[in-house]
Structure 1
């Protein structure tokens, strides 16, 4: 059998005569941090102080163990970041320049010192740019000229930390006669039978040896022979249990094992988990344009999605446990689709394994984002090689539901003056409309491919036309009020979002000793968006009076505004299912502590938006929607059962007096939306009234004017503290009450986000990680509670 020797110990990092111990997998930044050579780039403005790291060359050295008695030994790198030369005992094994693929070198009979010399990614990218010519980009960094994680070079939410290193595992593989080079599993369900067609490629040392393959899954066994260097074996499993997205059924997974043998016994084995499900992306034209609806096992879905960026700016630090924790957070918020965004990476198997188990559908971008990418060599060959490898690597995962060509590049060509500036130069269209769909069709025909996001399906329509295909809604955040989300009903909203600062404890850790203010030096450094603070200020001013000089109020109100903005969009779009078939929030996570669009900040703390997602993405959602001709109550029912009940409608004054009330029958079919027109006499008139709708434990509120025009009473409420809980009892209307648990203790977490209480109502907020129960606990809890206050 094939033997594996991991190469994880004894590595040294060298630079200009200096040497220090290196961790593999890892990167230069993590090694320098561990040795105390650089300060943490996530703190203060240290990012700028470590910029020199990305401009230097670095070398990793290790003594290669003696080879075994097998016929062949391969040196295998799962990931090298990015431009490097590999030498063994002074002999050049090869040169590489792609972070997104693996490499294999025959080192049979060789030994001695192994060195991996990394050239600065800046130097490598700039050399390609100088040869092929400048291409337009959303950022001035040279990321389009090298197959490396684009956001290493900085983004409007991320630091510029240009990494280098052996970022994924490296090992020696010793084998004889033959090894399994590639297995391509085509998994389908036909007439109640699960079919697993395993296309097997092998590498041989002896062509005369007779080879067989045996596959097992679900109690079924099948055998085949290898003719030359390839063969196929088919497994048919009667009546397989299906894999479903979360909320629609169970996530049944099957272990598949394939063994390669010769006459003397087993030589190599391949093991994966698969799931059986049918998958369709319905893009047919209809009366509203052309759709973009996922259909899994025959069920049409409204996709409740989030965009995913690399969870750490130094991605070699992301552990399997961290992937699983973050994705569990997503699932707990009602998410059923995660889009792996194109400025990042193809994630590790741990990510996709967790998505398989949690029922999170994966939309996978190919790594192209916000720039014109040259199509000449050496880039074109690298793009095809990485695409072929990663399509086959990821295709066993039932969670993977879409391959997407790029992020915003087709849109950029049309709207960002690229066509004129390119003057005929290549820019990536040949990848998105030619190379990538050809690779997917050849290797993974079981999954749909989209040329980009946004994309209307063809050049017959504007790439970001909301009536066709996928749409990115950024005009609202950049220029207008979030109420404007209600002006359009896109077929599928693949990006939209609103910024807010991270949790208070995250800011305190990231900006030690700083007097926090929206424009303090550290806050500005950790705000990467173009005019980000200006957009926050203008967006806040449309709803609240400016909290001048009060950082705590500024912090709280911007977090409220973020949750309100996202709610305005999702409630409107979900209420228009099935015309709109999905929303993918920008974004779930952060890669460092920063003011951004994320629901979970760079230290892993949930913002109020995260808790709001649990309401917005629940199977059942109650929402009040202003429409032409009146106010509509929409009952959004994503569950498999009809929703029938009674809704209580109350028109109330801000003083808490009910001025009108009725009950109505509510009805929404399974996977459908039911609507009721609010009676004219119950519609709130003017700033002193609002509407409350309650049904089956769900609540919807409608205030007809912005908060800055509402004459809120001074909030009065009682606070009691018990182990693991803070209870608030309201004596007045208390709007958007929030317990910022991390102000009690940086380790504390609250299980509840923003909540509005009517007079006499109470809420108990669970708190983990805060053990103080002395006489000061109630005072501390009260100081960590925030709510909307009267206009001063």
Structure 2
């Protein structure tokens, strides 16, 4: 890259990432401590300097509370690059957390009060032409500032679920205040990159407004670029796979914006993974001097995908549908909710993002929902979603509260929304924005009056729920201006028709009548839910090695230790875990067995939920998607996550993957609670059905088997059912078998298998419920490694429930948490192990040694 001193001036970029120091601003001393690297946050720098213990270990979080009540200063010195007259120098701050005052050479150049904003500050006249520049940033306590702002607005009821109520006054990641899965770690600091740019002219923003026509035969619209500097023309290019498809030059007009028309016949369309490919076009722009036709700077390039996305909301016999259609294909959005992957955001590398997101693709997740109490994620997150074909449901950053609407915070929110929508609008993966997470549920719970017949946004500001103004006026207004072709939904959950957000007939729902609410049996998931289930879940403990990490003292490594409870932030988790445990399982003794059993409960719950709701999807679009709460953790803990902080998979991860396979078989018998007084008896005849659900866009021919296998003996107690050449309809559910299990039969499993082109592509096993009434002695399990530890072969003489392999870091399994049926040998593929490595450990439900 050239600089302003070159013959062809370009942009000189200096990352201000090293040489920083920090100190406590209000400590009364002048002890500056080194900062390893910026971006950073104060907790990591204190940890690096031995000033706090690791808050992820034991009870250490409590020893770091004082950090949030202090002010902190960061500083760095840098030299001014040489540049001819006419060049402009700017300091770019991609993110400052949160109340920041920035000084350059002792002159105040910026104040910021919003963690989610980026800032570009013209410092041309402030820089020293020779010598060293001094940059310092003072970070005030967001905790104390928030409390002060709250006290200044007694006209508003600061109602918050999770975290303290002052968080509502602060535009900061809300989970920093603590959540029911995360610690209270109130970070501050330069949490995103800081850099100095020097240039004559540059492309300040590049975006497109392109639609795919209804017949999918063409893509048309405009490409825009905003210029900063004296360039009077912009050269645009659109290329695919190195071939230039469009090349045009346009004059810079009002507001420094240039644009060109765009039309492409037969575009290569972007699909979610497993539905098609993810072609990405390179759209670029560079600023030109129109007189000399000389470029001021190198081209700025963004990768875009062309796709047509619809939210289908048709009236039907169940109410009003809620599902997504991509390029004319109805898509079941099975997937997961995403929270920030660390309490300390600067520790999340691009490689770690890729590890998480590749994991979701491997398990068949079509969609991820970026939750509204975290952050607008890093560019790397969305780039990877574009590449891998993951649909993104993007919340705006509001969660579980009734937010205030005083003028200054509305101004900040508008700037925040504009900043982030502009940054993210080119991503093919982002198909919908939602205004918040569960704020309308808070409104309903606290009976804050909302008049849906009132269509005047200004009057909403005077209502008991003024935040309606944000979600139904301010944010959709920004979307209409900045990303008019991206879907917007006011909240998650939301009915869209003035009904309760829990209404199962319309909109999306958060299904918490399992675990929260009524605490229903998880076996009943299929009978509850709604048109789109954007949250649901069941807790479990993490991997044993993760527990040993945060509880290194052996005295704390038991199921009822204070440290273990401290690393589960849900109030009442002991009762919930104990209730679902005792309802379904026999007592266990050691910690590993306890962990295994909580994880099996979670896995079984996910199997019931995903299989049942995906079945409903394929029948008549009754359920448009299911997003488990949650995929990941922000620290090592017990939570609803299906993969723990260290990317160690829980059994639920594998259960979800089997249910979301492109073509999957499902089998379920009627759920019978034989202890219910009016319907007693363990030997009641129960109906069952078997179906195949497909996400393929073409018909599939399959062979299907159903066996009835005794749990006690491993023998078939009824003749198997087999059907060859089943025509599995595309994007639908195909019923195959139904019948009745006669009264009086011994306890047995319903074991199903599905073959496509002679290859077994899916299995499902239905076990009698509850599992605690079953015995699992003498299973006759055989486990053999072969092919230099790249495969494991498993067989059993009697049915085995929840056969789970050790999760070893660096080792990847094709499946785990299995049901093993006699006569059905299973082969598990392994990567990351070498010949001679110690075999993976394993355990199963009811294991006694």
What is the TM-score when the length of structure 2 is the normalising length? 0.87
Alignment of 1:263-342 (within 5 A): 263-264=291-292, 265-268=294-297, 269-342=299-372
Q: Cα–Cα, structure 1 residues 627 and 521, in superposed 2: closer, same or farther, change >3 Å?
A: closer
Of residues 739, 750, 755, the one that matches 2:805 is: 739
Of residues 631, 646, 649, the one that matches 1:606 is: 649
Partner residue of 1:225?
251
Of residues 629, 648, 651, the one that matches 2:708 is: 651
Q: Cα–Cα, structure 1 residues 759 and 684, in superposed 2: closer, same or farther, change >3 Å?
A: farther
Of residues 150, 173, 194, the one that matches 1:170 is: 194
Tell me if structure 2 keeps the 8 A contact 1:684–1:703.
Answer: no
- Name the SS for the 1:534 alignment partner: helix
- Name the SS for the 1:659 alignment partner: coil
CA distance in 2, matches of 1:306, 1:493: 10
Of residues 725, 749, 753, the one that matches 1:690 is: 749
Tell me if structure 1 keeps the 8 A contact 2:313–2:320.
Answer: yes
Instruction: Structure 1: give runs of 5+ residues left out of the alignment.
Output: none
Q: Which moved more, 1:662-671 or 1:34-43?
A: 662-671
Partner residue of 1:620?
663
State yes or no: 1:679 paired with 2:709. no
Of residues 12, 32, 35, the one that matches 1:3 is: 12
CA distance in 2, matches of 1:316, 1:446: 32
- Name the SS for the 2:769 alignment partner: coil
Tell me if structure 2 keeps the 8 A contact 1:711–1:790.
Answer: no
CA distance in 2, matches of 1:47, 1:581: 40
CA distance in 1, matches of 2:814, 2:367: 23
Tell me if structure 2 keeps the 8 A contact 1:80–1:165.
Answer: yes
Q: Which moved more, 1:41-50 or 1:399-408?
A: 41-50
State yes or no: 1:470 paired with 2:536. no
The Cα of 1:773 is off from its aligned counterpart by: 4.3
Of residues 746, 753, 757, the one that matches 2:816 is: 753
Partner residue of 1:663?
722
Q: Cα–Cα, structure 1 residues 701 and 155, in superposed 2: closer, same or farther, change >3 Å?
A: same
Q: Cα–Cα, structure 1 residues 374 and 687, in superposed 2: closer, same or farther, change >3 Å?
A: farther
Partner residue of 1:635?
692
- Name the SS for the 2:698 alignment partner: coil
**Cα offsets for 1:127-155 (capped at 9, x unmatched):** 22111234111024222111111111111
Of residues 141, 146, 163, the one that matches 1:120 is: 141
The Cα of 1:752 is off from its aligned counterpart by: 2.7
Partner residue of 1:194?
219
Q: Which moved more, 1:276-285 or 1:403-412?
A: 276-285
The Cα of 1:54 is off from its aligned counterpart by: 1.7
Instruction: Structure 2: give runs of 5+ residues left out of the alignment.
Output: 1-9, 128-132, 451-460, 672-685
**Cα offsets for 1:551-588 (capped at 9, x unmatched):** 22211111111000011111110111121111111111
Q: Cα–Cα, structure 1 residues 215 and 645, in superposed 2: closer, same or farther, change >3 Å?
A: closer
Partner residue of 1:203?
228
Partner residue of 2:101?
85
CA distance in 1, matches of 2:234, 2:302: 19
Partner residue of 1:526?
567
The Cα of 1:239 is off from its aligned counterpart by: 1.9
- Name the SS for the 1:252 alignment partner: coil
Tell me if structure 2 keeps the 8 A contact 1:489–1:576.
Answer: no
Partner residue of 2:457?
none
The Cα of 1:423 is off from its aligned counterpart by: 9.7
Tell me if structure 2 keeps the 8 A contact 1:545–1:791.
Answer: no
The Cα of 1:78 is off from its aligned counterpart by: 0.5
**Cα offsets for 1:86-132 (capped at 9, x unmatched):** 11121111210111110121111323311100001101211221112
Q: Cα–Cα, structure 1 residues 683 and 72, in superposed 2: closer, same or farther, change >3 Å?
A: farther
CA distance in 2, matches of 1:25, 1:18: 21
Tell me if structure 2 keeps the 8 A contact 1:687–1:711.
Answer: no
**Cα offsets for 1:8-39 (capped at 9, x unmatched):** 12111122322111121111111122222222
Aligned residues: 775
Tell me if structure 1 keeps the 8 A contact 2:568–2:638.
Answer: yes
CA distance in 1, matches of 2:503, 2:265: 44
CA distance in 2, matches of 1:683, 1:736: 26
Alignment of 1:373-392 (within 5 A): 373-392=403-422
State yes or no: 1:455 paired with 2:494. yes
- Name the SS for the 1:537 alignment partner: helix
CA distance in 1, matches of 2:328, 2:565: 49
CA distance in 1, matches of 2:281, 2:812: 36
Of residues 229, 240, 262, the one that matches 1:235 is: 262
The Cα of 1:216 is off from its aligned counterpart by: 3.5
Q: Cα–Cα, structure 1 residues 367 and 231, in superposed 2: closer, same or farther, change >3 Å?
A: same
Alignment of 1:694-713 (within 5 A): 694-696=753-755, 697=760, 698-713=762-777
Partner residue of 1:762?
825
Of residues 103, 106, 110, the one that matches 2:122 is: 106
CA distance in 1, matches of 2:90, 2:149: 30
Tell me if structure 1 keeps the 8 A contact 2:285–2:300.
Answer: yes
Tell me if structure 1 keeps the 8 A contact 2:206–2:226.
Answer: yes
Tell me if structure 2 keeps the 8 A contact 1:631–1:683.
Answer: no
CA distance in 1, matches of 2:323, 2:802: 34
Tell me if structure 1 keeps the 8 A contact 2:232–2:287.
Answer: no
- Name the SS for the 1:432 alignment partner: helix
The Cα of 1:758 is off from its aligned counterpart by: 2.3
- Name the SS for the 2:515 alignment partner: helix
State yes or no: 1:585 paired with 2:628. yes
CA distance in 2, matches of 1:621, 1:514: 43
The Cα of 1:439 is off from its aligned counterpart by: 0.9
- Name the SS for the 1:678 alignment partner: strand
Alignment of 1:508-587 (within 5 A): 508-515=548-555, 516-547=557-588, 549-577=589-617, 578-587=621-630
The Cα of 1:786 is off from its aligned counterpart by: 1.4
Alignment of 1:149-168 (within 5 A): 149-168=173-192
Q: Cα–Cα, structure 1 residues 513 and 250, in superposed 2: closer, same or farther, change >3 Å?
A: same
Alignment of 1:126-145 (within 5 A): 126-133=147-154, 134-141=157-164, 142-145=166-169
CA distance in 1, matches of 2:33, 2:449: 48
- Name the SS for the 2:718 alignment partner: strand
Partner residue of 2:4?
none
The Cα of 1:237 is off from its aligned counterpart by: 2.4
CA distance in 2, matches of 1:10, 1:704: 63
CA distance in 1, matches of 2:417, 2:238: 28
- Name the SS for the 2:554 alignment partner: coil
Tell me if structure 2 keeps the 8 A contact 1:684–1:704.
Answer: no
The Cα of 1:432 is off from its aligned counterpart by: 0.6
CA distance in 2, matches of 1:87, 1:523: 44
The Cα of 1:489 is off from its aligned counterpart by: 5.0
**Cα offsets for 1:610-656 (capped at 9, x unmatched):** 12222011111111234699321121111123233332222222111
- Name the SS for the 1:324 alignment partner: helix
Tell me if structure 2 keeps the 8 A contact 1:185–1:396.
Answer: yes
Tell me if structure 1 keeps the 8 A contact 2:275–2:695.
Answer: no
- Name the SS for the 2:159 alignment partner: coil
Tell me if structure 2 keeps the 8 A contact 1:327–1:354.
Answer: yes
- Name the SS for the 2:32 alignment partner: strand
The Cα of 1:427 is off from its aligned counterpart by: 4.3
What's the C-alpha RMSD, in Å, of the aligned pairs? 2.3
